[in-house]
Amino acid sequence: MNGQIQDWGEMAQMRLSEISACSLPGEGVTRLPFTDEHRQANKIIAGWMQTAGMDITLDAAGTLVGRRQTGGKRGTKTFILGSHQDSVRNGGRYDGIMGVALACLAVEKAFTDGCGPDFAIEVHAYADEEGVRFPTALLGPRALAGSADIAVLDFADENGVTLRAALDAFGGDADAVLSIARESEDVIGYLEAHIEQGPVLENDNLPVGIVTSVCGIERNTIRINGKTGHAGTVPMRGRRDALVVASQIISELTVRAEALDELRATFGTLTLLPGAVNQIPETVTLSLEIRSPSDADRRAFSAMAHAFTAETASACGCTAAMQQNYVQPAQDCHAPFMDKLEKASLVHQGRNRLLPSGATHDASAMAVLCPMAMLFVRCRDGVSHVPEEHASATDMGIAIRVMSQFLKSL
């Protein structure tokens, strides 16, 4: 039957439709790690892997692993394809899980076409990339890369269940998470397919694009302290209004970020005290997230933001502090892998588009272990993390053919 498959994209669409039912009730898809919905999804994914000729295991970090050992001169050296099975709340049916489905089909197609690589191939379905249930993410790829932080196992969900307890109950082994790290010399590389989550490919009328890098991310908390007072009795001139300072910071840093093509600056949260309609805001706390494929550009923007924040607050009689509370360095995609993807893309869609990823992915964690590459698939209207998220069967079929040819070229 496998050799009779003609439309790989339609097969992907059928599989994603089926697995979308592994979800909590409600609009879209809600599938959190180490839950009944995750367990149901793994049964379906295991079937995809078995159809591609793979043996199935669940590793200590909860990653479902399909492995096809082919032998040859490179013996047990392994090339890995993968993505994550989990979703955000009320998300779509493509983000993450599409990369698992396409990986299984690309491996199946490569062998159907007579590819006999001299290395082992694995497909990974990681448990948790979104970080929705627990305040951490990427445990699966980080464990394989040897960069996992064992402290996150004590983080708890909203019901008080720790990650350690959930992982063990699911069939993983929290005590063994640090022991499953792979040796870099044994891993040839990693490839991940993902919907673009943006409009570039749609605007260019291209089914797939080759990712150049996964952006670096830093998150900062800005706290501004002024002086409160009665809204009706304190004159406008001379007020030490912390919210006015915050508005100036938001406005100016947004303008400066707009002048930098690939940098993103986002003020996602804002709280103010006393928080009364008739009182001048005394304390404002806001978040600033900075993303860029260039760590140098990100750090430069962050330094500028620190200085501008302090200067603006001082000019208004206030004080301010900006503290970094999260940082993830940018990861470049492996140039030789990009070249192979470009050649395959030219065959199947006639031209290429290179673009950075402004979102993080499992690939960013795997880059610590081995060379990595990513392939983006066009998504309708450039939207993701919503029920309306959509990739066409035609585009996914092209992605499968590109990935299969890439495997055969290694």
**Which residue in the block uniquely carries the two structure tokens 């399909």?**
66
Provide the pLDDT confidence category of residue 52 given band limits of 50, 70 and 90. very high
Encoding tokens for residue 135? 């305040």
Q: Which residue type, as a one-letter code, is found at position 236?
A: M
Instruction: Name all domains of the chain by residue range, CATH numbers in brackets.
Output: 2-215+330-409 (3.40.630.10), 216-328 (3.30.70.360)
Q: 3-state DSSP call for residue 322?
A: strand
Binning pLDDT at 50, 70 and 90, where does residue 151 land?
Answer: very high
Per-residue pLDDT band for 2 (boundaries 50, 70, 90) equals very low
Please check whether residue 226 is in contact with residue 245, taking contact to mean a CB–CB distance below 8 angstroms.
yes
Q: Is the pLDDT of residue 3 over 80?
A: no
CB-count exposure of residue 276 (10 Å: 0-12, 13-18, 19+): exposed
pLDDT digits (tens, 9 = 90+) for 283-339: 999 999 999 999 999 999 999 999 999 999 999 999 999 999 888 899 999 999 999
Beta bridge partners of 84: 126
Cα 19 to the chain's mean position, in Å?
A: 20
∠ CA 188-122-54, rounded to 5°: 145
Q: What's the pLDDT band for 73 if we cut at 50, 70, 90?
A: low
What percent helix, strand, coil does the chain show, rounded to 5?
40, 25, 40
Predicted local confidence at residue 239, as pLDDT: 96
Q: Please tell me the predicted confidence (pLDDT) of residue 1.
A: 39
Phi/psi-derived region of residue 361, left when phi > 0, alpha when psi is between -120 and 50, beta in every other case? beta
Q: On the CB side of 107, how many CA atoms lie within 13 Å of its CA? A: 30
Q: Please state the rounded mean pLDDT for residues 171-186.
A: 97
Between residues 204 and 69, which one has the greater pLDDT? Answer: 204
- Mean pLDDT across the chain, nearest whole number? 95
Q: Average the pLDDT over 139-148 and give the result.
A: 96
As a whole-number percent, the residues of the chain with pLDDT over 70 amount to 97
Q: For residues 170 and 5, which has the higher predicted lDDT (pLDDT)?
A: 170
pLDDT(215) > 70: yes
In one-letter notation, the amino acid at residue 364 is S
Q: What is the pLDDT of residue 64?
A: 98
143 falls in which pLDDT band (50, 70, 90)? very high
Q: How far apart are CA 131 and CA 252, in angstroms?
A: 31
Long-range (24+ apart) CB contacts under 8 A made by 73-77 are: 73/118, 74/118, 74/119, 74/188, 75/119, 76/119, 76/120, 76/186, 77/119, 77/120, 77/186, 77/187, 77/188
Q: What is the pLDDT of residue 71?
A: 67
The predicted structure's pLDDT at residue 135: 87
The H or E element spanning position 101 is helix 97-112
Provide mean pLDDT across the span 388-394. Answer: 98
Least confident of 68-77, 83-92, 316-325, 357-366: 68-77
Q: pTM for the whole thing? A: 0.88
Give the Cα separation of 185 and 180 in Å (integer). 15
Asked whether the predicted pLDDT for residue 5 surpasses 70, the reply is no
